[in-house]
Amino acid sequence: MSSIGKLFWVWTLLGTGALVVLTPLGVVLITSYNGPAGWTGLNYQQAWQQGDFLLGFANSMVVALGVTTLQLITSTLGGYALARLEFRGRSLVLVGVVTSLVIPFPLLVIPVFIVLKNSHLLNTYGALILPTAANGFGVFLLRQAFLSLPKTLEEAAVLDGANQFQVFWRVMLPLVRPALVTLSLFTFIGEWNDLFKPLVFTTRPQLRTVQLILAGFQEQFTSNWPLMMAAVVIATLPVLVLFFWGQRYILQGVASTGIKG
């Protein structure tokens, strides 16, 4: 097969895949503008007001940013320790981190609920942020990122008089920026789309997140498809914008953190 023929089939497969992925999104968008008298944007105005999405956006932003910040801290410290520091039991800790990747969060809901209840954190932002403040995926991702850097960089910094923290903060951390951005995007998007924690750990209407509001909205307007689709677009738009903005960082982060060591 000629190179032109191979290129044709590659583009055909990619185009088919894109069509399969984008068709549902197109249906949602078209339906959201459907009205009794034709296309209208009033569905978005009505959905925003009746769903109280302003409150949901504020709560989801607080939770997503809080979890993302804490995961960046715990993942960078844990990843650097597992990649560069020599200590007894390091291999065992790494096994525990990797094992945690296959344990779904719903399996831990009962002990987490008991801890939150005994700590008087139910119905607070703490209940939505602290249970996922550390994540095995983030620790492993940053470990791989730090392992990809040559040790000569640290040795040169030590010879210049830098201590361990200065090596970590001024030399190593800036070099794993793609991995940090990748982790930030994955974490923020995951928390923005999370329905489980708000549903289980909170009952106060003041703490409703976007996904809780969207779930209630769907129950209330089951037969009004244009209004429901408008609500779905509103809830999804921030995630889409963030993803398209950061997709190049995701590619860089994944490419620079291959399985190693």
CATH class of 43-255: mainly alpha
Question: Which H helix or E strand runs over 38?
Answer: strand 38-39
Residues 49-61 have pLDDT tens digits of 888 899 999 999 9
Model pTM? 0.86
At 261 the pLDDT is: 42
Residues ≥6 apart with Cβ < 8 Å to 215: 195, 199
Cα–Cα distance, 96 to 83 (Å, whole number): 15
Say what the pLDDT of residue 252 is: 65
In the chain, which stretches have pLDDT less than 50?
259-261
Cβ neighbours of residue 93 under 8 Å, at least 6 residues apart?
82
Alpha helices by DSSP H, listed for the chain, are 3-32, 42-51, 53-84, 90-100, 109-118, 125-129, 136-147, 151-159, 164-166, 173-175, 177-192, 196-201, 210-220, 225-255
Query: What pLDDT, on the 0 to 100 scale, is given for residue 255?
Result: 61
Sign of the four-CA dihedral 200, 59, 62, 101: positive
- Give the Cα separation of 197 and 129 in Å (integer): 9
C-alpha span between 120 and 117 (Å, rounded): 5
In degrees and rounded to multiples of 5, residue 34 shows phi and psi of -80, 135
pLDDT for 253: 60
Calculate the alpha carbon distances from 93 to 81, 102, 140, 148, 189 in Å.
10, 15, 11, 20, 27
